Amino acid sequence: MISFRRVRLPGLALVLLAVTLTGCETEKIQQTRLGIQQNLFLQSVELVENAGSLLQKPQLQQADIDLAMQQMDEGLRQAYQVEDSFLRMLDPGLQRQYADNFISGVETYRIGVEASSRDQQLQGLDRLGKWARFWSGNKPDIQRKMVAITGLPLQSG
């Protein structure tokens, strides 16, 4: 019986060690995933904000418009990759605001530009304005929570 326990304890220790290492690895994977989500979210917002600033530039040139549209498209591409669950962790209303006003606003504006539809452009800008009001009022709190959740400093935004 004693030798049985001696054989079993090292085996049990190895199992516990494997479980512990797996837990650490899972935690690292989760932190990496959250860091990627943080980056995608902040960069999507920053790209669209930069595009908006470019479009308000005095003596706007076609090259400025082209660059702004590229930035909007890239911001939208990144926005599509942000997970709803990540946004809900940061703020109860963030996911809805991001989907309904940020993403939808960029989509509607871009469709309006492509279709030369002033009405669609204005609808998109209206949604983006709603997003901007939400974001400016909640940005500091959301960013604080983001740092707390991810453990990473803010890179953008």
Predicted TM-score of the model (pTM)? 0.81
Lowest mean pLDDT among 85-89, 106-110, 132-136, 152-156: 152-156
Mean pLDDT confidence for 118-134: 97
Query: How many residues in the chain?
Result: 157
Mean pLDDT confidence for 98-123: 96
Determine the Cα–Cα distance for residues 22 and 39; give it in Å rounded to an integer: 26
pLDDT score of 31: 86
Q: What are phi and psi for residue 85, nearest 5 degrees? A: -60, -35
Three-state SS at 58: coil
> Which alpha helices (DSSP H) does 80-117 contain, by range?
84-90, 94-97, 104-114
Whether residue 152 has pLDDT greater than 90: no
